[in-house]
Structure 1
Amino acid sequence: MTLQFSSENAFPSAVVMNNFKRRDLSNNSLNGEIPDFLSQLQHLKILNLEKNNLSGLIPSALHRDSLTLSVDQNPYLCEPDQCNKKKNKKNNSIVTPLVASVGGVLILLVAVAAIFWTAKRRKVKALTVEKDQSEKSPQYTDQDDSSLQSQKQIYAYSDIVKITNNFNTVVGKGGFGTVYLGYIEDTPVAVKMLSPSSVRGYQQFQTEVKLLMRVHHKNLTSLVGYCNEGTNKGFIYEYMANGNLQEHLSGKRSKRNFFSWEKRLRIAVDAASGLEYLQNGCKPPIFHRDIKSTNILLNENLQAKLSDFGLSKIILTDGETHVSTVIAGTPGYLDPEYYLTNRLTEKSDVYSFGVVLLEIITSQPVMAKNQEKTHISEWVRSLIAKGDIDAVVDSRLEGDFDSNSVWKTVEIATACVSPNPNRRPIISVVVTDLKESLTMELARTEDRSTNTSYSVKQVIRNLNTESLPQAR
């Protein structure tokens, strides 16, 4: 499509163009003089005209403090005191045709007008697509793959088709894609393929690839590899045979086989340890931003691992206690302070974990399915005020737990979900307290049976001497 302009309306008015703040017209083969109308754009902050073939005098109005002007590598462009020297030198060479000069101006006008039209379209599109301007990561391309990790972790789409047996078995579905069961040399893996229509999903794909390439912990799901081939993008994770925590607490996976109090505490310790690693073991620290029971996966030994790092935020600001960012997370698990102020802190993930801990204790949904839609934290607080601990704990446990262990765990959970972030414990304290609760429960079961497979002393030694691997 060819754009044509008359001499009177060759460009939108200065009022319209005042919306421009930054324009990059470098390396566009532009020639001719710089049009004076650019000096009317009072809101223009950055103008890059480098590496073109512009000529003549630079308008003096463009030399203002509020504008950063770049005109390098334009051999026939000059300042007022330089033009006479260049003119004499230029007269000894071939004179540039007037047609080329006029054509250059038109090309410049067409290029800037096209940018204006494109920017306007993008602005309209931005109204329907949520974008977090504060956390844009560098553009991720196929060429970046080799710098992230060795080539053996990059899979072609044809490999993914073979691994999943042509996407034969679906094991889960999320907001941004479908998870399939696959096999690599007889080892089961989970393959999550991104939906091509998911814009936010692609942004999260970039974030998760970069994060999982640099972190490793026994309580974080391991990345086996990934595919980044055109619109075919996906992850290959270790397979977590026992699904997610929410399925078990709700009874969806097996109504007859529910978790004992000891198993629940072990899962809580695992999940909290993974979160502690992200905040304290990674340099710079990482905030997950989507801690919830469906993002806590269980392997064949019921070891819990955090998953889904697409919303995670790497905190690069040194010495700061928070970062301002667009709100992201899941309703019910979202820190109310973060929701109101956009201030993301380490206590935001602590709040979300506190909600998960209440789910582990009660097996109740985060939001009650009634007209009031009571939050689980409000429901638990009302029962605690009455001293009714039996009503708080999952009735299916039938009292088979150490009361002190339960009370301590409830206290930890309610502290984590305090509306005041300053009253919430740091995650390392949460881990320590949960280990103490587990020790109490193990002491009870050991007293009941000396043949138990777990020794209290052994558990304490294991819990206190676990190494904390560092981010790679």
Structure 2
Amino acid sequence: MWITVNTNDTHEEILHVSRSNSLQVCLVKTGTSIPFINTLELRPLVDDIYPTESSSLNYYFRAYFSDSSRNVEYPDDVYDRIWRPLSPNKEWALLTTNLQVNTSNGYDLPQRVMAKAVTPVNASTTTLEIPWTLKPPTSLFYVYLHFAELQTLQANETREFDVTMNGNVTHASYSPKFLKMQTAFSRAPKQCDGGKCLLQLVKTSRSTLPPLINAIEIFTVIDFSQLETHEDEVVAIKNIQSTYGLSRINWQGDPCVPKKFLWDGLNCNNSDVLMPPTITSLNLSSSGLTGIIALTIQNLTKLQELDLSNNNLTGGVPEFLADMKSLLVINLRGNNLSGIVPQKLLEKKMLKLNIEGNPKLHCTVGLCVNKDGEGGKQKNSITIPIVASVAAVVALIVALVIFYVIRKKAPLNDEGISSEPTIMTKNKKFTYSEVITMTNNFQKILGKGGFGTVYYGSVNSKTQVAVKMLSHSSSQGYKQFKAEVELLLRVHHKNLVGLVGYCEEGDKLALIYEYMANGDLDGHMSGKRGGAILNWGTRLKIAVESAQGLEYLHNYCEPVMVHRDVKTTNILLNEDFDTKLADFGLSRSFPIEGETHVSTVVAGTIGYLDPEYYRTNWLTEKSDVYSFGIVLLVLITNQPVIEQNRQKSHIAEWVGAMLTKGDIKSITDPNLHGDYDTSTVWKAVELAMSCLNPASVTRPTMSQVVVELKECLASESSRGGESPSREVIMTFGTEVNPTAR
């Protein structure tokens, strides 16, 4: 809930942190009158102004001090804020200047606002007070105070004061800067007893002049504690709505939130306030549906019940329904479906399938009774039972006994994993003497890392390989070696480095990979390898292929894998600059179906490490998304991830600060010499910053990242050479003004 509108003439304003690419503003009828709206305006703000702990802000009061009755607004205010004049009372004196005030601190207040200030009439007055009353009285609020010294102070003059809120000092011994705007605020919300608030600017003992203030803003807190429905789910249900032309009156806004306005026919899982709601039940019974069963239904990945009964659906029963892991109930009763029910669907355990009333639909003999047009009857539903033979039960018991014996023999580490396991395969295993032969006694070093040294080699004098030997001083050790071997023995994808083999002989441990002639991405970006600068098209290709490798780990591995150490040194390039992800020693899986995270000791590389994972120890696929966002920024900027001599040491903070200038050239690698489509760079920057969102649930999935990057690559590929940079297409700061009202 944002606001209740109860007059015919009202203007409301909110500073809202959007968690997705879409925004729904809903007007809900509360009485007998019908909701209406005249205008809805959106204005983008830079990220580092109006900071809060987590909430959105509702406008309460905004004023500057003037004896004029005129509001100050656009175009004087680039963010289209409306500044209302607050006339000085008999105890205040108005200060003005005709000189230019430097207002470029991000808040960018208009000159007409900052060129005026109030101060006590009597220079000996110690306190300037501004009271207000909040409704409701329990409201939390933020106050933003804007200061600039407008008088030229003499050598013996000082203006210094404390800022206090209801008697508590929030800023001590503050002196405004001459003709330079500064903004004072608190990152934590405040609350006043009974809603009665008093701001005091109190002159310090060493000050010769009374306090002053130029402008003030007050916002109350709106706590949108319920996360929006998962973005993928919203896209899926809207595609279903479009496919079937559904015009249900309440299918507007967010499908699951708030619960009071849940879309008709949906049930959602809202139990975990830290996770976005997902759709668990879809009932489109008697909805006049025609055509086939829509493929987009499969994108409701948490769906447990699907009811499409009593419609006029045609075509066959699609096999993708059997692949929906959470689906337990399917009701297709009373349609005009035809063909044979897929065997895979009939064999799915504990699935309740109702296909009554589809005379052209047939089942496999023995699993249901077919209606064949000659008086045969069809069962109302089919429940597929779990059947276990005695032999299977015996086999299971034996397996458990063996597991228990092995588990007792092997000591366990702190994560419950045997500290000295062996890799359960004989394939691709080399002896240490064979490793010596293939590397020509470790003659040529390709590189060094946390695991150990990487050597050049060849198998049978034909296949080039890279041999990574475990160093005895390595901090990673056998556990990571085992994890990487077992992952690469079962995972195969064109954008994941291939494992030729491994060596496990006493303390001699080696991983033998396919050879990547062009080394790692870091070498090319840093210039260590020499050679030509990677052009923008090649960088986008590298980004797409790296993202595809991660997408495979996240979506198509069984169980799902998280890489945990995505960085430029783990992105390898072959002779054709085809890209492959490498180094899976820190990878972790999600072995339990439906698990959203694992709690684990933090691992990764400083600078690339997801701060939410670092803070909570909760690992999800979105941790890789964060790390990939850093890689994407490196590809765009060619800047170090951590640079202490930079004004903002971390690359994400630096890019965020540079974006406030609205100049893409200040961000993009100067070695590209402007040879890129500006719109694709902007899109890549936006995508990278969305990957770096502090809240993991609001980051895109790797599938979404792949789609966005492919669009960038297609646009760049169609450019056909150099093109002049276009004007900035996003509003980040004062250089680009918003459209006029």
**What's the TM-score bracket when you normalise by the shorter of the two chains?**
0.5 to 0.7
Residue of 422, 435, 447 corresponding to 1:141: 422
Residue of 364, 367, 374 corresponding to 2:639: 364
* 8 Å CA contact retained: 1:208, 1:308: yes
Aligned to 1:57: none
* 8 Å CA contact retained: 2:629, 2:691: yes
Matched letter for residue 515 of structure 2: Y
Distance 2:582 2:475 in 1: 20
Structure 1 residues 291-300 or 186-195, which shifts more? Answer: 186-195
1:261 paired with 2:543, answer no
Matched letter for residue 187 of structure 1: T
Aligned to 2:267: none
- Relative distance call for 1:135 and 1:263 in structure 2 (3 A) is farther
Aligned to 2:686: 411
The alignment partner of 2:559 has SS state of coil
Q: Show structure 1 runs of 5+ residues with no match.
A: 1-121, 123-130, 449-472
1:284 paired with 2:555, answer no
- Relative distance call for 1:430 and 1:137 in structure 2 (3 A) is farther
- Relative distance call for 1:356 and 1:322 in structure 2 (3 A) is same
Matched letter for residue 136 of structure 1: I
Structure number with higher relative contact order (C-alpha < 8 Å, ≥ 6 residues apart) = 1
Matched letter for residue 213 of structure 1: L
Aligned to 2:487: 211
Aligned to 2:152: none
1:386 paired with 2:661, answer yes
The alignment partner of 2:516 has SS state of coil
The alignment partner of 1:433 has SS state of helix
Once the two structures are TM-superposed, the CA of residue 139 in structure 1 deviates from its matched residue by 4.3
Distance 1:249 1:163 in 2: 30
1:309 paired with 2:584, answer yes
Structure 1 residues 238-247 or 416-425, which shifts more? Answer: 416-425
Aligned to 1:180: 455
What does 1:183-262 align with in structure 2 at a 5 Å threshold?
183-184=458-459, 185-198=461-474, 200-254=476-530, 257-262=532-537
Matched letter for residue 216 of structure 1: H
Q: Deviations for 1:446-472, whole angstroms, at most 9, x for unmatched residues?
A: 798xxxxxxxxxxxxxxxxxxxxxxxx
What does 1:166-177 align with in structure 2 at a 5 Å threshold?
166-177=441-452
* 8 Å CA contact retained: 2:539, 2:635: yes
- Relative distance call for 1:264 and 1:371 in structure 2 (3 A) is closer
Once the two structures are TM-superposed, the CA of residue 385 in structure 1 deviates from its matched residue by 1.6
Distance 2:701 2:442 in 1: 42
Distance 2:722 2:450 in 1: 47
Distance 1:438 1:135 in 2: 44
- Relative distance call for 1:335 and 1:447 in structure 2 (3 A) is closer
* 8 Å CA contact retained: 2:521, 2:573: yes
Once the two structures are TM-superposed, the CA of residue 137 in structure 1 deviates from its matched residue by 5.6
Q: Deviations for 1:309-342, whole angstroms, at most 9, x for unmatched residues?
A: 0000011122121111000000000000000000
Distance 1:132 1:344 in 2: 19
1:425 paired with 2:700, answer yes
Aligned to 2:650: 375
Distance 1:294 1:239 in 2: 15
The alignment partner of 1:321 has SS state of coil
The alignment partner of 1:286 has SS state of strand
Matched letter for residue 166 of structure 1: N
Once the two structures are TM-superposed, the CA of residue 186 in structure 1 deviates from its matched residue by 2.4
1:355 paired with 2:630, answer yes
Following TM superposition, the consecutive aligned residue runs of length 4 or more in structure 1 with deviations greater than 6 angstroms are none
Distance 2:595 2:516 in 1: 36
* 8 Å CA contact retained: 1:358, 1:410: yes
Distance 1:224 1:323 in 2: 30
Once the two structures are TM-superposed, the CA of residue 354 in structure 1 deviates from its matched residue by 0.3
Aligned to 1:8: none
* 8 Å CA contact retained: 1:135, 1:325: no
1:438 paired with 2:719, answer no
Distance 2:413 2:661 in 1: 44
Matched letter for residue 173 of structure 1: K
The alignment partner of 2:676 has SS state of coil
Distance 2:488 2:455 in 1: 19
Distance 1:233 1:368 in 2: 35
* 8 Å CA contact retained: 2:450, 2:476: no
The alignment partner of 2:513 has SS state of strand
Q: Show structure 2 runs of 5+ residues with no match.
A: 1-410, 724-741
- Relative distance call for 1:315 and 1:137 in structure 2 (3 A) is farther
Once the two structures are TM-superposed, the CA of residue 366 in structure 1 deviates from its matched residue by 0.2
Q: Deviations for 1:16-40, whole angstroms, at most 9, x for unmatched residues?
A: xxxxxxxxxxxxxxxxxxxxxxxxx
Distance 1:137 1:305 in 2: 30
Q: Deviations for 1:280-324, whole angstroms, at most 9, x for unmatched residues?
A: 010110000000000000000001100000000011122121111
Once the two structures are TM-superposed, the CA of residue 420 in structure 1 deviates from its matched residue by 1.6
Distance 1:396 1:164 in 2: 37
Distance 1:397 1:418 in 2: 27
Q: Deviations for 1:363-406, whole angstroms, at most 9, x for unmatched residues?
A: 00000132766110011111112101011100011110001111
The alignment partner of 1:297 has SS state of strand
The alignment partner of 2:466 has SS state of strand
Identity within the alignment, %: 55
The alignment partner of 1:145 has SS state of coil
* 8 Å CA contact retained: 1:226, 1:234: yes
Aligned to 1:323: 598
* 8 Å CA contact retained: 2:676, 2:722: no
Q: Answer 1 or 2: which has greater strand percent.
A: 2
Aligned to 1:334: 609
Aligned to 1:52: none
